[in-house]
Amino acid sequence: MTEEAAWSGRFAVEEHREPAWEAELHDDDLVRETPVALVYNGISHAVMMASPVDLEDFALGFSLTEGILEHPDELYDLTLHQEADGIALHLDIASQRMAELRQRRRSLSGKTGCGLCGAESLEQAIRPIPRVSPPQLDDATVQHALSRLRDHQPAQSATGASHGAAWCDEDGEVLIAREDVGRHNALDKMIGALARQRTNRQDGFALVSSRASYEMVHKCASAGIGALVAVSAATSLAVEQARAADLLLIGFARPGRHLVYHRPVSQPSPALQHA
């Protein structure tokens, strides 16, 4: 199966248009959504709905951003098994990490794509967030990266239903991009790719095609990413977490404008005009 076939499939649809609303039958590309189980040392821990592409990156990124692994070297082996109902990712991880995973007693269903499903208490839901070292980003860099994101989203271009996450350098060039039906999954895939490639994260930033939620900010900070740019808005908890991590958070990034939700204390603010 080609990569294109892995993330999309063709289905017959009826298209209705004005003014007569006559139906026209044709084939359309739909993004694939598949149950993906993450199995650690033989024990199933999470089942997520994901696009069946770049799953090795997804498994590593998810393990790092969920705090299951502290370092990529703690993943000893990873195998993919196609099963009747989906795909199982079998991860062989360090025994200490596995002992800690058993203690957490968390079981994520992935039904809502929130990453908090199965948390047993409020303390588990809002985890401590590490502080990061934010890069210096100017407006032109943000806008340049935004203008290039679409070029790295073939699944979105074909189906209109896939999220993208990109790693951009200090000039706004997209170096790594991953897609998935789930926004969290896309970010985990990108973070997994960063880890696998041993990419330096001091001067770049993450760009996502979705809103900036708590989980998106937390995943970035957990991966040592100091800046997150989102195409849609930020949530209130995302801003609070960005402040706690000193992460540069930018949202509503559209051609010609974007909003800075949190500017790190180490970076002076430009002269502001008040409406």
pLDDT in tens, 118-131: 455 555 667 889 99
What tokens were used for 151?
């070029």
Write the burial class of residue 52 (CB in 10 Å: 0-12 exposed, 13-18 middle, 19+ buried).
Answer: buried
What are the Cα distances from residue 27, in Å, to 8, 11, 270? 12, 5, 51
CA distance 230 to 19: 37
From 4-18, 26-40, 178-192, 220-234, the region with the lowest mean pLDDT = 4-18
pLDDT the model gives residue 4: 54
Query: Is residue 110 scored above 50 in pLDDT?
Result: no
CA distance 81 to 101: 22
What are the Cα distances from residue 206, in Å, to 96, 211, 219? 30, 13, 11
Q: Is 220 a catalytic residue?
A: no
pLDDT the model gives residue 108: 44
pLDDT in tens, 204-252: 999 999 999 999 999 999 999 999 999 999 999 999 999 999 999 999 9
DSSP 105: T
The residue annotated as part of the active site, out of 114, 117, 168, 220, is 114
C-beta of residue 91 within 8 angstroms of C-beta of residue 78: yes
Q: What proportion of the chain, given as a percentage, has pLDDT over 90?
A: 79
φ and ψ at residue 159, rounded to 5 degrees: -115, -25
Residue 248's region, left for phi above 0, alpha for psi from -120 to 50, else beta, is beta
What tokens were used for 216?
């998106």
